[in-house]
Each structure stands twice: as C-alpha cells, then as structure tokens.
C-alpha cells in the first residue's frame, strides 16, 4: 500500500519555552512537574563556597541549585510539542541565558512573593529582547499573599502582560501557565508591527 502526502501523520510543531525567575522560585520544580519525560537537571549541592555569593534569605531550606539548565518536554494536543528550558537563577550563571533564549517563542517568569525583587532581572531581560512572557506567581506555603494587581504594580508590568497564580508542583497548574504563554505569544505574533493590545 502506498501512502500519499496527505495520509502521513503530521508532526507537532516544536516550540521552545524558557522557564525563568529568581533563585529558588520553582523553575526546576515546574519543569519536573509538567514534563512527559524524565527531566534533565543540572543541579549541584549548595556548599559553603556559595556563602556571600548566593543570597538564600527566604529560601534557607534550599540545598541545591541549577548551574546550567533544566530540560523537559510536554505535548499540547496533536499540534504542539513544547521544549522547556529552565534557566539558572543566580546572577553568576546569567551568561547562559543568551544561548538558551535563541529561538524561544516566549518565557514564563516565576515569581516568589518572599523574594519578589528577584523577578526584575528576568522581566528586564525579556523586555529588552522583545520576547513575549507571562509572570506566574508561584504560591509557596507560608509565603505572603498579595492581590495580582499589587504584584503587577510592584513589578511595573504593563497591563497587556499576563499575570497568573500557579503552583509549580502541580502538573495541571504548570500546564495552564504554559497554555497562557503560548496563547499570549501567538496573539502578539498575529498583531501588525507597531501595534499593542
């Protein structure tokens, strides 16, 4: 039996997504919670050598840190295959971001209300690059609770940038954030150049 072109199964479109944010915001957790495959992690144990280099205030229980990237994959229906790249959070590893950002459709910036200022470098980075992004407030147990409007104001986010609550430990919550990002990025791509929503 000979199959014509129209009979072949169409492969899903590959989309590269970055998961960014400050140190301890939940990037590794999000990639791990949503990935269909066992995620690749480049975590190393925090040692006394990072004392004075890595600020662990607010996340004192953290024992490991990503030193290169996290990687995972998730299929969205029959149409899209999302490849997730978690960025390292500390300033000393930011040189990796330029390589990871190449070809990315957009980024999820995870915010931790215990250390909200840690989001500023990620927001600035993606705004400068013109990369679509959403901000997801990761709801840690015992962390301060703020209205989304308060978080938007504190981060100086434009009203057009999606801001959502999430629990990076939960697959459905992380998946919903990724859907929001893809929809936001597609909407921006469909706009004529020079217009804003």
What is the structure's pLDDT at 115? 86
Asked if 4 and 71 touch (Cβ cutoff 8 Å), the reply is no
Q: Angle at Cα 30 formed by Cα 159 and Cα 98, nearest 5°?
A: 70
Q: pLDDT digit string (tens) for 120-163?
A: 999 999 999 999 999 999 998 878 889 999 999 999 999 999 99
Q: Is 177 helix (H, G, I), strand (E, B) or coil?
A: helix
Give per-residue pLDDT as tens, 30-72. 999 998 877 665 555 645 555 444 555 555 555 555 545 688 9
Query: What's the Rg (C-alpha) of the chain?
Result: 18
Contact 39, 72 (CB under 8 A): yes
Domains for the chain: give ranges and CATH numbers. 11-46+61-190 (3.40.50.300)
Cα angle: 157, vertex 160, 165; to 5 degrees: 65
Which pTM value belongs to this model?
0.78
Q: Which of 5-9, 65-69, 75-79, 155-159 is least confident?
A: 65-69
Question: Containing H/E element for 187?
Answer: helix 171-190
């Amino acid at each position: 039996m000979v199959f014509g072109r129209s009979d072949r199964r169409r492969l899903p479109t590959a989309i590269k997504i970055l998961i960014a944010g400050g140190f301890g915001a939940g990037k590794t957790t999000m990639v791990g919670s949503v990935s269909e495959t066992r995620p690749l992690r480049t975590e190393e144990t925090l040692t006394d050598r990072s004392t004075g280099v890595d600020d662990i205030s607010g996340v004192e229980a953290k024992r490991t840190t990503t030193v290169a990237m996290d990687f995972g994959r998730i299929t969205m229906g029959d149409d899209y295959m999302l490849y997730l790249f978690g960025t390292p959070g500390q300033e000393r590893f930011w040189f990796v971001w330029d390589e990871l950002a190449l070809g990315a459709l957009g980024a999820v910036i995870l915010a931790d209300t215990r250390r909200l200022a840690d989001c500023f470098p990620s927001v600035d980075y993606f705004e400068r690059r013109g990369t679509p992004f959403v901000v997801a407030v990761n709801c840690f147990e015992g962390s301060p609770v703020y209205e989304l409007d308060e978080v938007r104001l504190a981060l100086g986010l434009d009203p057009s940038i999606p801001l959502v609550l999430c629990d990076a430990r939960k697959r459905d919550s992380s998946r919903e954030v990724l859907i929001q990002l893809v929809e936001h990025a597609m909407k921006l791509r469909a706009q004529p150049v020079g217009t804003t929503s």
